[in-house]
A and B are shown apart, each in its own frame.
Chain A
């Protein structure tokens, strides 16, 4: 079956701009989580959505937001981009029975570079 699909794979933005990243989970998966990966901080949890509701949120500023649609697809948005937002953004999906207890399926990520 098709895996988790993230678009775009690569993008370059300048400081102050905003960006929207998209994630299509595996068919039948209702939970989508987002993680930020940087060389310095490693993998950090951003947020998790289940049935269009944000179920959990990591320790990130309000510039980071997300949403989930009725078909379980998810988007995350970063406004007023800063250089430190340059990272690989990974999306993961699961059936939704509390993702922390089960296997997360990850996409290949969206690599954001902020100049």
Chain B
């Protein structure tokens, strides 16, 4: 069975600090996909990134970066120079190929204060 663990329930930082959100996953499959979604107060989940299990290259998109390590089954998300607009709940998710479902972690609430 698949499982995603986000051990950090809530993180509070001051603007301009760097912050890393942890994600650890479990799956028996060798092929799978990992995702990060952002949920602002409006409620909708906003897609941030998808990674397949064969691509361990780290990715950077502006202030966002992701570190995928199969050896530790982790897919961590770092926000550099955080801003108040980054305040949201962030979800890590996992899916198997040919499956149409996502298994989500419980989410990490990030609060960025001015």
- Chain A residues near B (Cβ < 8 Å): 3-4, 31, 33, 35, 42-45, 48, 50, 55-56, 58, 88, 90, 92, 98-109, 111
Contacts and interface: CB of A to CB of B under 8 A. Distances in A.
B50 A45 contact: no
A18 to B, nearest CB: 23
A43 B91 contact: yes
Interface in B35-54: 37, 42-47, 50
Q: Which 4 pairs from chain A and chain B are nearest by CB?
A: A100-B95, A43-B104, A106-B45, A99-B100
Given A90-B45, A103-B50, A104-B47, A98 B100 contact: yes
20 contacts: A35-B104, A42-B106, A43-B107, A44-B104, A45-B102, A50-B100, A55-B100, A56-B100, A99-B95, A99-B100, A99-B102, A101-B33, A102-B50, A104-B45, A104-B47, A106-B45, A106-B46, A107-B44, A109-B43, A111-B43
Interface residues of B, number: 23
Tell which of B101, B102, B104 has the most Cβ of chain A within 10 Å.
Answer: B101
Main secondary structure of the interface of B (DSSP, over half): loop
Tell which of B50, B97, B100 has the most Cβ of chain A within 10 Å.
Answer: B100
Interface of B: 33, 37, 42-47, 50, 91, 95-107
A1 to B, nearest CB: 15
A9 to B, nearest CB: 9
Main secondary structure of the interface of A (DSSP, over half): strand
B99 A108 contact: no
